[in-house]
Structure formats: C-alpha cells, structure tokens
Amino acid sequence: MKDQTNKKDKKGNTRVAVVTGGAMGYKTGGPSIGGAVAIQLAKDGYKVIVVDRLKQAGQRTAEIIKEKGGEALFLGLNVTKTDHVQKIVSTAQEKYGGLNCVVNCVARYSAGMAKNVAEIVEDEWQKTLDVNLGGYFKMCKYAIPLMLKSGGGTIVNISSGASFQSLPNFSVYSVSKGAIDALTRSMAVDFAPKIRANSVCPGFVRIENSERNRTPEELKAWYQSIAEGYPMRRVCEVEEIANVVAFLASDKSSYINGQSIHVDGGYGIADSHQF
Ligand SMILES: NC(=O)c1ccc[n+]([C@@H]2O[C@H](COP(=O)([O-])OP(=O)(O)OC[C@H]3O[C@@H](n4cnc5c(N)ncnc54)[C@H](O)[C@@H]3O)[C@@H](O)[C@H]2O)c1
C-alpha cells in the first residue's frame, strides 16, 4: 500500500470512500469488480467502507485491504433499503469524519430477469430496477449531503456496455444501465463543481461469480470464445476496471464530469463485417 496519491483532501483530511457491491467472489474470495475497486482505492490512500449483502465475501475484501496495510471496514447491508443506506452514510461520518467518494457497483442477476420485454414478469422487472437503479439512486441521495459537507468529491457508477448495446433477452438489465448513465449525467450537472460524477461501462469482465460450476477446461473454452469477439482477443481483468475507477475518483481526472467511459477493449466500436 505504498502509493498514497490521494491520501489527503484539500482540507488535509484523509479521504473516505464507500464501495457498494464490494464483496470478493462468494465461493473462494476470487476476483470481483467491487473488491478490486475497494482494494485499489485503499492503495490510493482512501479509508474504504465496503458494502455488500454477502457478509463473508464482503468481510474478505476488508481483510485483504487490512492485510496490505490499508484501512477498511465492512458493512453487511442492502442498498435497496433506505435505513441501511442511511446507516452507511452515518458510519462514514461517525467512524471517519466524512465522505469523499462513492462507487456504486451492485447488480442483481436472476434467471427470471434474463428475458425480453414481452416475457419478463413485472415482479422481476421491478426487483431488478430496485437494485440496479434504486440502489445507486439511494446511495447517491443520502451520500451527497455528507460529501458536500466534507468539501466535495467524486461519484463513480459502474454501468455497462449494455447501456449502449442490447444483449439478447437482457431487457431490464440494459434499461437499468441506460438509466444509470442518465443519473450520472444529471448529478454531474447538479453537483459540479463540488462533486464530479462519471460512470464506467465495462464489456465482459472475468469474475468468480459468473464462473458457476464450470470445470477449468470449460472455463478456458468459454473465455476463449468470448475473447474471439473482442479486438483485444482476451477478456478484461477486474484490476483493469478498478484502475479506471480509481482514476475517475482521483484529482487526476479533475476535468472529466458526466462521462460514461467504455472499458471494453474496443468491443463497442468494432464492426465485424468482412469485405
Ligand atoms: N462482470 C461483468 O462482465 C460486468 C460487465 C459490465 C458491467 N458489470 C457491472 O459490474 C458491477 C459488478 O457486478 P459483477 O457483474 O462483477 O457481479 P458481482 O456478483 O461480482 O457483484 C455484484 C455484487 O453486488 C452485491 N449486491 C447485489 N445486490 C445488492 C444489494 N441490494 N445490496 C448490497 N449488495 C448487493 C452482490 O452480493 C455482489 O457481491 C455491476 O454493476 C455489473 O452490472 C459487470
């Protein structure tokens, strides 16, 4: 944890970040985007509040940060519940004296939400929006007053390439990600210059939670088949997302506001037609 580039804010206080969806992989503590973001922000000198519904995997992220000499605490809370979100914000105030950075990284996945608009049941539609959009909205709504009191800061929302390109039968997920990008722009206009808000739109990222029960051989073949569709000819690693989030969270991106940054190895700009 030697790189402490963001250690102090303009008032000389240590910076404090909340990362929601910050648990490591739930089976073995393997790679996750939120975990990698929390670890990178801690390396950059933030005190990190890791939030996730998964208690053991969330605790693991905080442990990794502490093992590396950083400062973190874990809260096993649900970002769709107003009182839980208020607890996250009051913890930042009480334990660390303020809040300078929020990274929203939760997402809901279920078999029932992976449907087109005609087939999805209304309850699945609503439950997915409650997490993927409502969880981001609530976290921002209750964090922003404390961020303003703390001298300002940065919000980074994890969106997706699905905000711009529709995956088949992934209707509500795509809608939620498009709304996250619109929410990001809205906050970027309303709260600049004190708070900058940006989003990161990953393409396919290798995480433990999507590896499910595949054997190592099946996983290799799966990743290889996805990689073939990407100009970089490989899938993305979680640290490659975390590095961009950390940049957007830092003063190094001081004039970037309201943007959705694609981190997809060029997938979104590639045309596969052959002439
Ligand atoms: N993995 C990818 O290929 C990929 C691609 C594009 C975007 N994303 C985005 O990255 C972010 C991270 O997700 P992921 O896909 O890596 O999966 P993930 O399962 O590793 O992370 C999601 C985390 O959110 C937590 N969570 C869900 N609902 C919650 C709630 N109500 N309260 C608190 N925690 C909750 C889960 O427990 C989980 O730890 C998501 O926003 C996702 O949409 C991922």
Residue 11 pLDDT exceeds 70: no
Q: Is the CB of 204 under 6 A from ligand 1?
A: yes
Residue 13: pLDDT band (50, 70, 90) is: low
Residue 268: pLDDT band (50, 70, 90) is: very high
Q: Is the CB of 107 under 6 A from ligand 1?
A: yes
pLDDT of 233-253, one tens digit each?
999 999 999 999 999 999 999
User: Residue 106 Cα, ligand 1 centroid: separation in angstroms?
Assistant: 4
Mean pLDDT, range 181-200, rounded to an integer: 98
What's the confidence (pLDDT) of residue 7? 59
For a pLDDT cut of 90, what percent of the chain falls above it?
Answer: 92
Q: Is the CB of 79 under 6 A from ligand 1?
A: yes
Residue 272: pLDDT band (50, 70, 90) is: confident
Of all helices (H) and strands (E), which one includes residue 18? Answer: strand 16-20
273 vs 56 pLDDT, higher one: 56
What's the confidence (pLDDT) of residue 273? 82
Q: Is the CB of 207 under 6 A from ligand 1?
A: yes
Q: Is the CB of 236 under 6 A from ligand 1?
A: no
What's the confidence (pLDDT) of residue 212? 83
Residue 272, CA distances (Å) to 140, 227, 235, 268 in order: 38, 14, 17, 11
Mean pLDDT, range 23-30, rounded to an integer: 97
Active site residue 96: no
Residue 121 to residue 33: CA distance in whole angstroms: 29
Please say whether the beta carbons of 48 and 42 come within 8 A: yes
What's the confidence (pLDDT) of residue 247? 98
Q: Which of 61, 132, 158 to mutate to test the pocket of ligand 1 (most atoms within 8 A of CB)?
A: 158
Residue 98: pLDDT band (50, 70, 90) is: very high
How many Cα atoms occupy the beta-carbon half-sphere of 175 within 13 Å?
18
Of all helices (H) and strands (E), which one includes residue 137? Answer: helix 135-149
Whose alpha carbon is nearest atom 11 of ligand 1? 105
Residue 213: pLDDT band (50, 70, 90) is: confident
What's the confidence (pLDDT) of residue 144? 98
The helix/strand/coil state of 260 is strand
Catalytic hit among 173, 230, 255, 267: 173
Residue 248 to residue 6: CA distance in whole angstroms: 12
Mean pLDDT, range 89-110, rounded to an integer: 97
Structural domains present in the chain = 16-210+237-262 (3.40.50.720)
Residue 2 pLDDT exceeds 60: no
Largest CA-CA distance found in the chain, in angstroms, rounded? 62
